[in-house]
Chains A and B, each alone.
Chain A
Amino acid sequence: MSQRLIIILQSIVLFVFGSIFIWFYIDGRIEKYLTSVGIFQMQALLAGLFLCIISAFLLLTSSKKVSCSHDHDHDHDHDHDHDHAHDHDHDHDHDHDHDHDHDHDHDHDHDHDHDHDHSEITVGGMVLTSMIILVPVIISALYTPDAYSKNWVQNNSSSWGKGVIGETPEAFTLKKQVNDKPSIEIEGELDGSKSKSVADAAGWGAYTIDDLKQQVDQNKEGEFLMDVISIFYTGGDEEVQGVVKGLPVETMGQVMPETMHNGEGKRIRIFRLMMNCCIADARPVSIPVEFSEDVPSYKEMGWYKIHGVMDYEKWDEFTIPVLKAQKMVPTEEPPESAFGQRQ
Chain B
Amino acid sequence: MSESTIHDLGYKRYVGTRQPSSRRWRVIARHQIANGWQTFFRYKAWLLGAVIVTLIAAAFIFIATDQRWHLGHGVQQTFANMALPFALDWYGRLAFIVTLRLGSGVIAADFQRGAFTFYFARSTRPLDYLLGKIGGLATLLGAILIAAPLSVALMRIGLAGAGSTDALVPQLWLVPKVIGIGLLATLSYTIIPLAFSALVENRRYALGVWAAWYLIAGPVAYGLGRVTHLPLAALDIAASVKSVTLHLLDAPVTPWGQSVYDLPSLAASLVSLGIQIALAIAIVLWRLDAAQRSGVGGAT
Q: Answer whether A and B are interacting partners.
A: no
